[in-house]
Structure formats: structure tokens, C-alpha cells
Amino acid sequence: MKSTLSRGLPDLLHELLWFCHRQLPACVFGVLLLGGLLVTRHWTDAAPLSRQDFLFLYALGLQIVLIAFRFEHREEVGVIFAFHLLANLMEWFKTSPAIGSWQYPAEGVIFRALR
């Protein structure tokens, strides 16, 4: 059933609008995180926090806000938490001095404290 806004539109355009309307909420975290990466691209060393620490806290804050405003469903919160926990464990492992697979360009407070 077409909504009043999409009546008179070709079916292909109607389907495209419906798809965008349904999928846009799934992109909110990614778009806002990408925005944070772009805004902090020219982060200076004089800042009180390293760029990596700021982005970590920004991503954590974004996730909390999305959960608080119910962008994420209750059933998804456990999966999101498990994903973030696993991703951080893998990151700490890969950046550890014993493995040394890669490292951040600047030393941060959060990840240095967790070594």
C-alpha cells in the first residue's frame, strides 16, 4: 500500500524511497562515526586528549545515546556489547608490544592504561 506521499510516483521510485526510509536508521552510527573521523582528521598534539582516545570516547558516547533514544532495540544491545568487547580485545591484542601487528600514530591515555 502506497502512502499519500508516494502515490503517483513510479513503482521503482516508490520502492527506492521505501528502502531508504527503512535503511537510513541502520546507518546513523556509521555516518556519525565517519563524521567524527573527518572532523578530527587534523587533530593537534596540543589537545588534552589524543585523537584515538577522543574517538574511542565519542564512539562509546554515540552508542550510549543511540541506546538511550531507542535507535537500538533491546535485543540488539547484548549483541552490540559483545561486538564492541570482542573488537576492543582484538585491538588490544594486535597493538600489544608482544604482537606489534600495528600501532597508533600517537600514544593515548586509555589504551596505554590498559596494557
Instruction: Read off the pLDDT of residues 3-33 as tens digits, 9 standing for 90 and up.
Output: 555 566 788 888 888 888 888 888 899 999 9
Q: Could you tell me the mean pLDDT of each successive run of 10 residues in the chain, 115 residues long?
A: 61 87 87 95 86 91 91 85 89 83 74 58
Contact by Cβ (8 Å): 92, 110: no
pLDDT at res. 33:
94
Cα separation, 17 vs 6, in Å, equals 8
pLDDT at res. 111:
62
pLDDT at res. 115:
53
pLDDT at res. 34:
96
pLDDT at res. 1:
53
Cα separation, 11 vs 83, in Å, equals 38
pLDDT at res. 49:
87
